[in-house]
Amino acid sequence: MKTVQNKTDSIDGKEPQGLSDLSINHPSAWDIDQFRANWYAFLESLLEEEASSLIPSRRMRCQIEQTPVFQEVVSGWDTMKSSLRLDAWKRLLLAAEESCRTILPACVQCGECCRMGSPTLHLEDIPLLQSGKIPWDQLITLRKGEPARSPFDGKPFILTEDKIKVREKEGLRECVFLTSQTADEAAVCSIYNDRPLQCRAQACWDPIPARETADMPFLLRENIFAGVDLLLKIMGEHESRCGFEALSSAFEEINRSNGENVNEVLELLSYEDHFRQFVSERFNIPSESMDLLLGRSFAQMTTLFGFRVSCEPDGTRCLVSDDQKE
């Protein structure tokens, strides 16, 4: 970043950080775009100094930009007299530095938790499903035996029971309900007012409340489909024939045979695919809801073992190593 050579006046004998390293010109001459460019440059340097803090930098930025001083300055910058802009800039920098030293114990909707993974649902969350505030097609079931990540430290572990999670964006760990963002705007949770228990407990300034939710009852498919005996029977049949352990054992055989014995995996993929299609068509269940009813498909889970399913022009499906180019 280019810096100016002249320094501005100090306040109470102290020169606020950022006043001596502005990008170009003087604050009095900045339009709103130049103001934002210098503001982002200042924030970057400020947050770099706070890098040792456990509080995420994005959260700190959101807190700063929600202060009354920032809202007042940025909303009035275009119409502000040039003679007043330097003082406004000074007040903004001092307020930013003060905000960094005082972390508010409240959610500022920075989206940092949402980017670390989607929430796992608890029994307390079932009214959100029943009311449609969380659509069923945005949920998936992770089944017993599948690998998962801890929402607290990111470490992998094997599930000892089913868990129901909100979907994540394809190829990302980001929750599907976190809206897209621009450089000027923070992302927003589209279900914030109706977010699940785990989301409400998340606090980047205090990890204890979120950890305590791990001792609360999790939501199970049996809770959602209670009383619908046909669906419960289908779930049981699918689990007995297409449990994750069967897929894992089939991939172990591939490893033992140095990649020769792939037939068992392909047969499992074919059977499980036909099972899902039959249930979806026979009982008019939307395909998008099948990941909740039966869990993720075997085809989706091949990536856990370093493979992917490739379809040939004639419809034949092949198992391809991730190391092999398409």
Q: What is the pLDDT of residues 253-308, one digit of tens each?
A: 988 888 778 889 999 999 999 999 999 999 999 999 999 999 999 999 999 998 88
Tokens of 153: 């430290």
6 in any annotated domain: no
Q: Are residues 155 and 195 in the same domain?
A: yes
Q: In this structure, how many other beta carbons lie within 10 angstroms of the beta carbon of residue 155?
A: 8
Q: Are residues 214 and 242 in the same domain?
A: no
Q: Are residues 65 and 148 in the same domain?
A: no
7 in any annotated domain: no
- Give the residue from 187, 222, 257 where a domain finishes: 222
136 in any annotated domain: yes
User: Does residue 105 carry a pLDDT above 90?
Assistant: no
Q: Are residues 216 and 119 in the same domain?
A: yes
What's the pTM value of the predicted model, to 2 decimals? Answer: 0.77
Q: What digits encode the pLDDT tens for the residues 52-77?
A: 566 777 888 888 888 899 999 999 99
The b/e string for 166-194 (b: 16+ C-beta within 10 A; e otherwise) is bbbeeeeebbbbbeeeeeeebbebebeeb
15 in any annotated domain: no
pLDDT at 50: 66
Q: Are residues 151 and 92 in the same domain?
A: no
Contact 87, 134 (CB under 8 A): no
Q: Which domain holds residue 74?
A: 27-101
171 in any annotated domain: yes
Q: Are residues 92 and 50 in the same domain?
A: yes
Per-residue pLDDT band for 90 (boundaries 50, 70, 90) equals very high
- Give the residue from 168, 202, 222 where a domain finishes: 222
Q: Are residues 218 and 232 in the same domain?
A: no
Q: What digits encode the pLDDT tens for the residues 154-199?
A: 788 999 999 999 999 988 889 999 986 654 556 789 999 999 999 9
- Give the residue from 179, 205, 222 where a domain finishes: 222
pLDDT at 44: 83
Q: Are residues 237 and 211 in the same domain?
A: no
Lowest mean pLDDT among 6-10, 105-109, 118-122, 167-171: 6-10
pLDDT at 12: 47
* Alpha carbon distance 74, 72 (integer Å): 6
Looking at every residue in the chain, the average pLDDT score rounds to 85
Per-residue pLDDT band for 32 (boundaries 50, 70, 90) equals very high
Total of domains in the chain:
3
